[in-house]
Amino acid sequence: MKKKHHHKKKVSPAKKWSAKLHLWLGLSVGIIVFIVSLTGTLYVFKDEVQNILRKEAIYVKMKIPAKTRYPLGFSGKR
């Protein structure tokens, strides 16, 4: 029994062009949607992101000098 050869139909130039157009428009719009989504997420969680990234600028440890003890009767005058 002989195998039948199925030949692929030739793709028209308009179909090739529309496929390439669909690919590049989809990729460019996808990148725009991704950037808008990322910046929107950062805007919504702005306070939380700043707390994580700038913790040393927000929370400053103050160095409080130790209290000096003076003997009784010391007035500080000489």
pTM over 0.75: no
Q: Are 51 and 59 in contact (CB under 8 A)?
A: no
What is the tens place of the pLDDT at every residue in 33-74? Answer: 999 999 999 999 999 988 888 877 666 666 767 777 767 776
pLDDT tier, 17 (very low <50, low <70, confident <90, very high otherwise): very high
Specify the DSSP class assigned to residue 78: -
Please report the pLDDT score of residue 51 as a whole number.
84
